[in-house]
Structures are given as structure tokens and as C-alpha cells.
Amino acid sequence: MDPSNGDVIALVSRPGFDPGLFGRGLTRAEYAALRDNIDLPLINRALRGTYPSGSTIKPALALAGLVYHSVNPDAHLYCPGIYRLPGSSRVAREALKGGTHGPVDLRDAIARSCDVYFYGLANTLGVDRIASYLALFGFGRATGIDIGGEKTGLLPSREWKRKAFSRPQDQIWFPGETINFGVGQGYFLVTPLQLAHHTSMLANRGKSFKPRLVTGLRDPRTGKVRSIAPIKDEEIKSASPHQWQIVMEGMVGTMRGRGTAAATAGREMTYTIAGKTGTAQVFSIGKNERYDEKTVQERLRDHSWFIAFAPAEAPKIALAVLVENGGYGSTGAAPIARKVLDAYLLDGDGNLKYPLPPGTRALLPRSSGKQGIAFP
């Protein structure tokens, strides 16, 4: 999408099919082959596929923590690779196999996708504040794109759970569900379009436009084109410029240094990308079990996500890429996203097509180096 107006640059769903076949008419056998295909080529995944967001939601959660003053962005929390809720013996682990991040501040936690940090932040915020803030980014409702069939995803809350389940014992919202929510897992579901729209709002620092495919209508008799103005949506006004800047620095850090996409999509960049990887579980893992991709059936492997906007200082494009059962976001989706960004932003000589406005300052990742405890 173009963050400045909501124009959809590309909307892709694969595997697909040749729509021309429907124009000439399909035989029953041809239609059955499409209908019964295990890869579901007739479903427009961009609009109708619903998936856990994984860690792509962490920048929005970080912004919520800043707005609600639930976190000191410069203080460091030590990540030992596991997180225990106060008063509980249940352990929540880092998604990265055997991963520990050591001391991380908020920017580091975004760039290196530290689950332990965001478990703690989610627990401090609580489910109601998380849900209400994510609603500002359009989750839980249709984006309003000018094409039919869009799904709304699912934005869970205490109220939602009370209505969704009939048995009283199933209506209780548990603290473990909150920390799961904090890393984009559990009941929370998004469409790729919603995630791209959310990314464009990050790029625009809260400003929002409805996604659209049609920018004008041509009169069939006169040939005259009537342009359609972009439709502004509700803007996020609660965050300060400094708070937005902190989140942006974390996303830029994803592509550099020890960031999760630095080695796969951040190499030899000639412009600044702000990104976030995401790895979304397809099925739940038992208390004492560990996920091993080599032993899991292919269609039960984690989904791979990557969101990004670029150039980070003056965004021209925002995107979301999903690879179903593609594994880590850094290895599955991020390299594809980089190819798309390069194709859109660079000319044949590798130069940026859209020069940055005069006086634009480079947006660089930053870590404060201050020590402290981020959460009680």
C-alpha cells in the first residue's frame, strides 16, 4: 500500500488460478479440481485468510506501553529465555530455539523480537488496554477496502470471551492468555490486508486511509475520468512524536546489527527499511513440549510473517508478507518483502526512485545503554 493515500499497489494470493477459465466456462471436472485442491486456490488469502499475527504486533504493543506509561523505554530487562507469571509455575518461552537475549530495552526488544520482554509488557498492560489500543489500528473490523469478501479477523477481549463461550468456566479470561496475546498468539487473528493497513499506519505515525483499488471512474460515453479522493480514516492521536520515534527506531533496528531480519533481508541496503518479523504458531504446544520443525507435518509448521515500510524517513510503500507454514519470519517472508521493496523503490541502476525530501534526517536504530528494570 501507499501509506500517503491508501492506494493498493499489489494484492496477491497464491496459489491462484486463471480467472479467464471462468470466462469461457469450466467443466465440472475443472471446477472440482480447483474446489477440492488442498491448497485452496479459490480463497483470496489477502482478504479472507485469517492467521495469528505473531510478533508483527509488537510495535503496536510497544506504542501502547508508551502511551499508557507502562514501560520505561530506556530501562533494561534481562531476558533469560523464559517468563513466569507471578504466582504461576507455568513457563512461557522464547520462540527462538534455546534463545536468550540478555539485557534489552524497548528498542532492542522490537528489533530482536524478545518474547520475554513482551510477555511482561502484556501482563502489565492487561488484556483490556491491549484490545482497546489494537482496535485503533483497525484490528477486529474490516478495513473498508472497495472489494467484496473481506473478513474482519478477531480481536479478543474479556467481553468477547464472555459472549463467545456458553459455559461460565470457559468465559474467564486468564493471565496466560494475556501474555500469549502480547506476542500475537492465542485467539487474536488478522488478515494480511489488515496487517498491511496497520503497517501503513505505523509508517504514517497514526494517520490512516482506507485501502482502495479504484482511484477513478471513466464515463463510458465521454471517456472523461472522475477521480476519487482518498478516504481518511480515524487517526491515532494518543502517541507523542517521541513515542512514535522510539518504535520506529526499534523497527529500523530489525534490519541492522542483531535485528531478526538483518542477515536475511537487511544486507546491502541503499535505503532505510523499518520492519518486523513474525512467526505464528499453527497449533498449541504442550506445557513440557518443544516445537521441532523437522518432526512437524509441513501444514502444521509455523507461518512466516514480515511487515515493513520504506524509506523509513519518508515512506512510499508499506507491506505485509505471509508465507503459510514458512517457518521463521526472517527466513520465509522477509527475503520476499525485500525483493518487493527493491523492485518498487529502486531504478535499474539501483538508485532510489524517490529522493528523500531536503533536510530529512536519517532514521537509525538506537539503544540507550541505561540499566534498570522495565517491569515490576
In terms of DSSP bridges, do strands 77-79 and 102-104 run parallel, antiparallel, or are they unpaired?
antiparallel
Q: Which domain holds residue 252?
A: 46-215+229-345
What average pLDDT score do residues 322-348 get?
Answer: 94
Q: Which of 143-147, 185-189, 276-280, 353-357 shows the lowest mean pLDDT across its residues?
A: 353-357
What pLDDT band is residue 371 in, cutting at 50, 70 and 90?
very low
Q: Which of 72-86, 261-275, 312-326, 347-361 shows the lowest mean pLDDT across its residues?
A: 347-361
At 242 the pLDDT is 96
What pLDDT band is residue 364 in, cutting at 50, 70 and 90?
confident
What average pLDDT score do residues 256-261 get?
Answer: 93
At 357 the pLDDT is 87
At 215 the pLDDT is 94
Cell of 30: 475443472
The residue among 362 and 164 whose pLDDT is bigger is 164
Share of the chain above pLDDT 90, in %: 78
Distance CA 152, CA 50 (A): 8
Cell of 204: 504514517
Residue 131: C-alpha distances to residues 7, 46, 64, 120, 299 (Å) = 27, 23, 10, 16, 29
Residue 64 lies in a domain: yes
What average pLDDT score do residues 336-351 get?
Answer: 95
Residue 94 lies in a domain: yes
What average pLDDT score do residues 229-242 get?
Answer: 95
Residue 98 lies in a domain: yes
Phi/psi at 205 (5° precision): 50, 50
* Stated pTM of the model: 0.90
At 374 the pLDDT is 39
Share of the chain above pLDDT 70, in %: 92
What pLDDT band is residue 367 in, cutting at 50, 70 and 90?
low
Residue type, 93: R
Q: Would residue 290 be called left, alpha or beta, if left means φ above 0 and alpha means ψ between -120 and 50 degrees?
A: beta
Residues annotated as part of the active site: 55
pLDDT in tens, 15-74: 999 888 888 899 999 999 999 999 999 999 999 999 999 999 999 999 999 999 999 999
At 297 the pLDDT is 66
Decide if 346 contacts 293 (C-beta within 8 A): no
Looking at the structure of the chain, the number of domains it has is 1
Residue 14 lies in a domain: no
**Residue 96 pLDDT exceeds 70:** no
Sequence-ordered list of residues with C-beta below 8 angstroms from that of 192, at least 6 positions apart, any chain: 45, 46, 49, 51, 320, 321, 322
Distance CA 155, CA 140 (A): 5
At 198 the pLDDT is 98
pLDDT in tens, 107-158: 999 999 999 999 999 999 999 999 999 999 999 999 999 999 999 999 999 9
Residue 161 lies in a domain: yes
Residue 274 lies in a domain: yes
Taking the C-alpha atoms of 50, 55, 56 and 57 in order, what is their torsion angle to the nearest 10 degrees? 90
**Residue 283 pLDDT exceeds 60:** no
**Residue 299 pLDDT exceeds 80:** no
At 356 the pLDDT is 87
pLDDT in tens, 308-320: 999 999 999 999 9
Average pLDDT, the chain: 90
At 296 the pLDDT is 58
Decide if 277 contacts 260 (C-beta within 8 A): yes
What pLDDT band is residue 171 in, cutting at 50, 70 and 90?
very high
Decide if 315 contacts 199 (C-beta within 8 A): no
CATH of the domain at 174: 3.40.710.10
Residue 360 lies in a domain: no
Residue 8 lies in a domain: no
Which residue(s) pair with 187 in the sheet?
none
SS (H, E, C) the chain: CCCCCCECCCCCCCCCCCCHHHHHCCCHHHHHHHHCCCCCCCCCHHHHCCECCHHHHHHHHHHHHHHCCCCCCCCCEEECCEEECCCCCCEEECCCCCCCCEEECHHHHHHCCCHHHHHHHHHHHCHHHHHHHHHHCCCCCCCCCCCCCCCCCECCCHHHHHHHCCCHHHCCCCHHHHHHHCCCCCCCEECHHHHHHHHHHHHCCCCCECCECCCEEECCCCCCEEECCCCECCCCCCCCHHHHHHHHHHHHHCCCCCCCCCCCCCCCCCCCCEEEEEEECCCCCCCCCCCCHHHCCHHHCCEEEEEEEECCCCCCEEEEEEECCCCCCCCCCHHHHHHHHHHHHECCCCCECCCCCCCCCCCCCCCCCCCCCCCC
At 376 the pLDDT is 34
Decide if 68 contacts 43 (C-beta within 8 A): no
87: Cα within 13 Å, side-chain hemisphere: 4
What pLDDT band is residue 290 in, cutting at 50, 70 and 90?
low
- Burial status of residue 350 (CB atoms within 10 A of its CB: 0-12, 13-18, 19 or more): exposed
At 98 the pLDDT is 61
At 358 the pLDDT is 86
Nearest Cα to Cα of residue 200 among 232, 165, 242, 173: 232
